[in-house]
Amino acid sequence: MANIFLDNLVKRFGKQTAVKNLTLEVKDKEFVAILGPSGCGKTTTMNMISGLLKPDSGRVYFDGRDVTDVPPGKRGVGFVFQNYAVFTHMSVYDNIAFGLRIKKFPTEEIEREVRGVAELLKITHLLGVSASKLSINDMQKVALARSMVTKPKIFLLDEPLSNLDAALRNIMRAELKKIQQELGQTTIYVTHDQIEAMSLADRIAVMNFAVLQQYATPHEVYNKPVNLFVARFIGSPTINFFDALYESGRINMIDFKEGKIELSKRYRNQLNSLLKNNELVVGLRPEHLKVSGKKKNYNLKGQVVSFEPLGSKTIVYMHPDNNQGLIIKSAMESDFKPEIGDKLYLDFKESDLYVFDRKSTELVLKF
């Protein structure tokens, strides 16, 4: 068992609060990503779990045992840092064996464990090579192997893929997930990359300004973000936001000249019961927003300012017809080729709308 419970953690550096009142549970064998922008408190949280930092208040529990005052070396935690910290004057074998030798494991057992983890990470052919001659990708694998070989119950990864190029990151994401499932280790993964978090994690803890914003599955944080920040941070291309007012059972899209969205009875009833005021922000993801030269469901128009052919899709960028300072994004089929200056109608399903309270920024409704 390796269950982690963070109970109301607070960490300050001088007058700056790095983590504020964080309560979080990571279940045994779960893969959790802590996601957020730089300075949000994710690495500080990781360091309090490992014991490298002590919280100013709150407690850290492993399997119900309070480990807040237990030193890092006695917590049974494996830690892989962003910069790998590989010993370049040693061979790959000696790097991996380092922790086991410190713990005075028998030579035969060290040999067996090192070769086992090297086989798992597909680096057996590198065991005799000096670490100074390794590629960045292989250094990352050696750093993982050195931590994994000690068989920690809890595995902490602090942006271990950030130094790799895009192709290698894709490969290593798949390998990391496979390894974690095979070993059954409780894993916490710190990242600012939402694609890494969405593809790897069972649950994602989204943080901003030292505060936990949402803790849920990838599906939930994408489809039902609790506030504007989470909705904006999750998704690529980023979600479209429009200022709006709720008036007489319909949504008045302020950013458009004739931006009236007539709502179904079901939607009207929901909003009538949930809204605290009529000032809204309406969200619409680019993949749910389609454009064409013909009006369909709504009289919302935009003008094309640029587009990006990305192979599998084309991202179209437009100004609303009443707001030249706002960019709308639509993800269209790969063969869609607009002309700069085209005036297009926007179409979407009512059920794809996100409705947020403009004052509180909280999600009001998403079907």
Q: Mean pLDDT for the chain?
A: 92
Overall average pLDDT of the 330-344 stretch: 95
Contact between 294 and 345 under an 8 Å Cβ cutoff? The reply is yes
Confidence of residue 143 (pLDDT cuts 50, 70, 90): confident
Residue 149 scores a pLDDT above 90: no
Which alpha helices (DSSP H) does 121-212 contain, by range?
136-148, 166-183, 194-200
Overall average pLDDT of the 246-274 stretch: 91
Confidence of residue 69 (pLDDT cuts 50, 70, 90): very high
Confidence of residue 1 (pLDDT cuts 50, 70, 90): low
Higher-confidence residue: 172 or 39? 39
Q: Nearest 5 degrees, angle CA 264-CA 242-CA 367?
A: 40
Radius of gyration of the chain (CA): 25
Overall average pLDDT of the 12-28 stretch: 97
Return the SS3 of 14. coil
The pLDDT of residue 80 is: 82
For the chain, give the number of residues.
367
Residue 82 scores a pLDDT above 80: no
The pLDDT of residue 165 is: 74
Overall average pLDDT of the 16-34 stretch: 97
Confidence of residue 205 (pLDDT cuts 50, 70, 90): very high
Confidence of residue 170 (pLDDT cuts 50, 70, 90): confident
Q: Nearest 5 degrees, angle CA 316-CA 318-CA 321?
A: 150
pTM above 0.75, yes or no: yes
Angle between helices 92-102 and 136-148 (to 10 degrees): 20
Overall average pLDDT of the 177-190 stretch: 87
Angle between helices 136-148 and 107-120 (to 10 degrees): 130
Q: How far apart are CA 50 and CA 150, in angstroms?
A: 15
* Of the listed ranges 18-27, 38-47, 126-135, 168-177, the one predicted with least confidence: 168-177
The pLDDT of residue 178 is: 83
* Of the listed ranges 79-93, 220-234, 251-265, 326-340, the one predicted with least confidence: 79-93
